[in-house]
């Protein structure tokens, strides 16, 4: 099966293709277009030509298109989930959850399209402002460049495409090389939903080629990128005066205070650490447990990790499956080995079965080990003991990342101390840092990025504020 580029509302045959294989089975899924610089520029030109149409489209029509999209996706939810499972090696039950969330994200976008509003400004609050009325309004920026990762190939695309359409922008989408099928699927649905030609364009291929064109073209007014800090920092350095929103990942951590009951906490932590093989930006990577309950926590957590099932992502009973590439598997094993050589205790896992990395639990890991201070993006979690919550806060803040952090505690004063002192974009009280719903503000500090996602907040990133002043005198 050969796929085509989607440019200006047409399926365009490219000059070259690359094979796309299933990460789990190795089966050929499709031949994917390798867009050239010229083809990418054509996509940008199509988006630029369509921007006036989208900017002038009434809010109710933009909302109707997004509502229709969510309806079409719901009707083809099983097909969408299977697509994600095949191209991303995501367990089918997790893929179904992603599709459900994607439907919800587009519904949120449809709702927010109707409330892109400004505010009244009381100019007479300042001397000389008497007799004047002022208000603000938000206008679309124009062409949005969206660059997305493999791990949520439908929902993270929705967090860029949904707000862009809701606010009257056009989009050039560059999906991850391993998960382009979901993006082409979206293009088909939006075409059916009535999106004007050129409002969405999908180009696939080399990030070095396509991404650089999108980032540097003056017609593109904003970049929304989810990926690695190295690439994100490079994008910001090259983007000039473009708006740039970057979600760059983390090594998210959790504090478990003394006297916290573990019955409900353990399954939640195991899910947060190992869902989708740990390939989640807010995957639970570091756990700091109070010394008084440390041994009990480790025993229960390790037992629960050992009960997870590895296998075919299309099997509804599978919990973990293959990582996205064999290179990532090799890297994960190397990082585990490094931590053990530096003194960490391997409580569970640390190896592979049928090429799949077992859920891995490491204890008393040195802060300089890669599994602690880098984003592991693998089914690996570290559990270290702490003497008090203050020590845990210090460990969490001792990181170049700052996306989400969580704390389980029975003490409200301790909870608010964590809220005040944790230097992260989001603090979760009595929950894991892996929690996210799609209308909340989402983003980080430090090398975890700049800007916020969540449909309402992404719309703010994709619009320009204009002030209008009327002199009545």
- As a residue count, the chain comes to 473
Q: Could you tell me the CA-to-CA distances from 88 to 180, 254, 266, 423, 464 in Å, in that order?
A: 10, 27, 27, 32, 35
Residue 275 and residue 313 in contact, taking contact as beta carbons nearer than 8 Å: no
Torsion of CA 270, 273, 276, 280, to 10 degrees: 150
Core vs surface per residue 182-206: b (16+ CB within 10 A) or e: bbbbbbebbbebebbebbbbbbbbe
Location of structure tokens 């509804």:
316
**Is 247 part of the annotated catalytic residue set?**
yes
Core vs surface per residue 35-55: b (16+ CB within 10 A) or e: bbeebbbbbbbbbbebbeebe
**Among 87, 269, 281, 447, the one annotated catalytic:** 281
Q: What are phi and psi of 249, to 5 degrees?
A: 90, -175
- Helix (H, G, I), strand (E, B), or coil: what is residue 437? coil
For residue 261, the surrounding DSSP H or E stretch is none
Count of C-beta atoms within a 10 Å radius of residue 334: 11
The tokens for 29 are 């899924």
Torsion of CA 260, 263, 268, 274, to 10 degrees: 110
Distance of alpha carbon 325 from the chain centroid: 19
Count of C-beta atoms within a 10 Å radius of residue 291: 12
Q: Which DSSP string corresponds to 382-420? A: EEEEESSHHHHHHHHHSSS--SEEEEE-S-HHHHHHHHH
How far apart are alpha carbons 200 and 187 in whole angstroms?
A: 7
Q: Which DSSP string corresponds to 183-222? A: HHHHHHHHHHHTPPTTSEEE--S-HHHHHHHHHH-TTEEE
How far apart are alpha carbons 151 and 220 in whole angstroms?
A: 25
**Among 87, 98, 247, 375, the one annotated catalytic:** 247
How far apart are alpha carbons 190 and 132 in whole angstroms?
A: 44
Residue 461 and residue 118 in contact, taking contact as beta carbons nearer than 8 Å: no
- Which active-site residues does the annotation give? 247, 281
């Amino acid at each position: 099966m050969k796929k085509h580029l989607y440019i200006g509302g047409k399926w365009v045959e490219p000059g070259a293709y690359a094979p796309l294989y299933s990460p789990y089975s190795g089966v050929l899924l499709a031949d994917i277009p390798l867009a050239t610089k010229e083809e990418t520029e054509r996509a940008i030109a199509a988006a630029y030509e369509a921007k006036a149409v989208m900017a002038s489209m009434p809010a109710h029509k933009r909302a109707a298109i997004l509502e229709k999209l969510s309806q079409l996706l719901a009707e083809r939810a099983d097909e969408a989930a299977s697509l994600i499972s095949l191209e991303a090696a995501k367990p089918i039950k997790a893929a179904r959850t992603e599709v459900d969330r994607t439907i919800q994200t587009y519904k949120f976008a449809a709702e927010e399209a109707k409330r892109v509003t400004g505010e009244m400004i009381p100019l007479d609050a300042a001397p000389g402002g008497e007799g004047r009325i002022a208000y603000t309004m938000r206008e679309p920026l124009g062409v949005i460049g969206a660059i997305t990762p493999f791990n949520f190939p439908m929902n993270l695309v929705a967090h860029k495409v949904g707000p862009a359409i809701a606010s009257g922008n056009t989009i050039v989408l560059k999906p991850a090389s391993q998960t382009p099928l979901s993006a082409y699927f979206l293009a088909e649905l939006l075409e059916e939903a009535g999106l004007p030609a050129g409002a969405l364009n999908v180009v696939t291929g080399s990030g070095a080629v396509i991404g650089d064109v999108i980032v540097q073209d003056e017609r593109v007014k904003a970049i929304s990128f989810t990926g690695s800090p190295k690439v994100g920092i490079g994008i910001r350095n090259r983007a000039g005066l473009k708006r740039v929103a970057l979600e760059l990942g983390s090594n998210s951590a959790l504090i478990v205070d003394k006297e916290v009951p573990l019955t409900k906490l353990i399954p939640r932590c195991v899910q947060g650490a190992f869902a989708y093989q740990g390939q989640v930006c807010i995957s639970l990577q570091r756990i700091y447990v109070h010394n008084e309950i440390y041994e009990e926590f480790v025993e229960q957590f390790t037992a629960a990790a050992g009960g997870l099932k590895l296998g075919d992502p299309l099997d509804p009973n599978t919990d973990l499956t293959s990582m996205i590439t064999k290179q990532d598997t090799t890297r994960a094993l190397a990082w585990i080995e490094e931590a053990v050589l530096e003194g960490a205790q391997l409580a569970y896992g640390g190896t592979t079965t049928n090429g799949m990395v077992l859920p891995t639990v490491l204890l008393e890991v040195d802060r300089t080990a890669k599994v602690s201070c880098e984003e592991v993006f693998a089914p690996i979690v570290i559990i270290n003991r702490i003497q008090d919550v203050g020590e845990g806060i210090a460990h969490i803040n001792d990181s170049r990342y700052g996306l989400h952090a969580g704390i389980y505690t029975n003490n409200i004063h301790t909870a608010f101390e964590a809220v005040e002192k944790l230097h992260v974009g989001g603090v979760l009280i009595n929950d894991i840092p892996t929690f996210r719903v799609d209308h909340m503000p989402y983003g980080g500090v430090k090398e975890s990025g700049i800007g916020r996602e969540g449909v309402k907040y992404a719309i703010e990133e994709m619009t320009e504020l204009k002030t209008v002043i009327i002199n009545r005198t």
